[in-house]
Structure 1
Amino acid sequence: MSSTPALFRLAAACAAAALLAGCAVVSVASTAVGFAATAASLAVDATVGTAKAVGSVVMPSKAEDKQ
């Protein structure tokens, strides 16, 4: 009879370890997705900034045309 609580504790510990390992995988995956999204956002910002800079050199604004 005394082995039943011990087996239950062992099973609960194994289940908790499996769940925690799954959580770690999800956490690492979500961190990687966050880094990828940040890198993509920075790349888009750099592209837009470059396009604005090149566009302002190639095509002056209308305010400059009136002077």
Structure 2
Amino acid sequence: MPSSHLPLSAQPLRATTLAARWFGLMLCSLALSGCAVIAVADLAASAVVGAAGLAVDAAVGTVKIGGKVIGKTADVVLGSDAAPAD
């Protein structure tokens, strides 16, 4: 059976076709590597901002709780003039 009658997948690839595919693969990998760097940098920046936001929220919550504890302690020690509005 001549090679022209074989299905495309069974025909031997020519050197130019292999070189073109190799060049296309390298070009795509270079283009995607730049995108990957940007994606990783974006992910890292988002993680840092998210972690910083959580840290700030935790600090604010801790200060609020600390303030309430100090206020209640001061009320007990010094005596409260008015009933709390809670």
The equivalent residue for 1:8 is 28
Aligned counterpart for 1:55 among listed residues 75, 79, 86: 75
Identity %: 19
**TM-score, normalization by structure 2:** 0.64
Q: Answer yes or no: is 1:46 the counterpart of 2:32.
A: no
Q: Give the secondary structure class of the aligned counterpart of 2:68.
A: helix
**TM-score, normalization by structure 1:** 0.81
Pick 1 or 2: higher relative contact order, CA cutoff 8 A, min separation 6: 2
Q: Higher helix fraction: Structure 1 or Structure 2?
A: 1
Instruction: Show structure 2 runs of 5+ residues with no match.
Output: 1-19, 81-86
Structure 1 segments, 4+ long, off by >4 Å, are none
Q: Answer yes or no: is 1:35 the counterpart of 2:36.
A: no
Instruction: Show structure 1 runs of 5+ residues with no match.
Output: 60-67
How far residue 49 of structure 1 moved from its aligned partner, in angstroms, is 0.1
How far residue 31 of structure 1 moved from its aligned partner, in angstroms, is 0.7
| RMSD of Structure 2 on Structure 1 (CA) | 1.0
Give the distance between the partners of 2:46 and 2:60, measured in 1 at CA.
21
